[in-house]
Amino acid sequence: MKIVDARGDVRLLNALTGNRLMDDPAIDQRARQIVERVRQEGDEALTTLTRELDCKFIDSLGLRVNAKEIENAWKKSTPEFRKALQKAKTNISRFHTKQLPKSWSISGKGTRLSQRFRALNRVGIYVPGGKAAYPSTVLMNALPARIAGVKQIVMVTPANSEGKIVPEVLAAAHACNITEIYRIGGAQAVAALAYGTESIRRVEKITGPGNAYVAAAKRIVFGTVGIDMIAGPTEVVVVADATANPAFIAADLIAQAEHDELAAPIVVTTSAALAPRIAAEVERQLSMAPRESIARKACDRQGVIAIVKNLRAAADVVNAIAPEHLEVMVESPRRFGEAIDHAGSIFLGPWSTEALGDYVAGPNHTLPTSGSSRFSSPLGVTDFVKFTNIIEVSRQGFEALAPAAETLARAEGLFGHAASVTIRRKKK
């Protein structure tokens, strides 16, 4: 990992950790071709693409995972795994239930103004496959949707070359009562959810992370359906002072680095003496890591240990990066956390490792990346509801509001708007 002395100018670090949401024109073009093909040809294109890109046996297996396969995955999972799923489900549900919005109304002289929320009817969740299996992604997407009141949840996830889906993913779907599951992935799965095919009915919103093709496809179909966010590579920033444990820091950096070669593990420290100790500990732990190849590339390419002059400078750096995950390992972590405006999730203190947030703590692990926490939020219940404004005006209320409405309509040159008010004022 690079050690950067930013005590003189933190802009040096900002230059190294700028916006990381990467657009690849070649990927965008290919994703657009796939999306359009599925939109035009439906199941035929979906089956052909799945056969070519993922599973050559898709014709005999079929796109949809049958109920027996889902049930067997649950029954054959270990008691320890089922217990862990249930614990995570309990904590995630407890946290997200607090997010449920309420309809409300206010009344004045002759007016009653309301805002009403309704759950989306049908949503699609994308669960990645490939380099790792993510049963936690099932929980983090499906449970907020269930709590919001979504009645139909359809899950898509790529199968391996033999057509099998990781049993732990299916077991998590069983725990969330998801029965409509398709063994498809990539841009073609996003297109199927957005436009529908002969076998798959379209959804109203698509959530869940994926690779660059999935991200590109979500960007393409946005507007036809809703999406949660465009996710870039994962990132973690650890803020540490001289009291921090370098072994803890190194372990948490590697935990994020093992996701993807493009992951960004970053440390911001006020201790010049701590920086080389962290670098040495990262190297020691990498040599024993099962996913060393992936994690080492991320640490070598994007890994930064920055030395800053004080915690105020550290807070400035964090707010400039606006990281997906922020871990705070300083003497007074809660106080430092209050200075942070931009972060997806903040983990306070040495025992609040980010891995707990990934699985069982309760808050959602689907977080804004690439600096987008400056303007967006973690996935939650409100991503699965929509709001409607309701305006009810009596004759008395109309008379109170009409003159101002006429004046503003004429100021905008919208005389038809003004006339629709005037005609009512003339009626006695």
Catalogue the active-site residues.
324-325
Number of helices (H) and strands (E) in the chain: give both, helices first.
18, 14
Q: What is the DSSP string of 361-396?
A: SSS------TTGGGT-----GGGGEEEEEEEEE-HH
Q: Where are the alpha helices (DSSP H) in 98-211?
A: 135-148, 167-175, 186-195
Query: In b/e form, how buried is each residue of 116-144, taking b as 16+ CB within 10 angstroms?
Result: ebebbebbbbbbbbeeebbbbbbbbbbbb
Give the orientation angle of helix 415-426 with respect to helix 395-411, to 10 degrees. Answer: 150
Q: In what order do the strands lie in the sheet with 111-119?
A: 104-108, 111-119, 385-393
Give the number of other CB atoms < 10 A from CB of residue 291.
15
Amino acid residing at 38: V
Residue 315 phi/psi, 5-degree rounding, is: -65, -40
3-state secondary structure of 148: helix
By the 8 A CB rule, do 43 and 63 touch?
A: yes
Whole-angstrom distance, CA of residue 199 vs CA of residue 186: 17
Whole-angstrom distance, CA of residue 270 vs CA of residue 149: 46
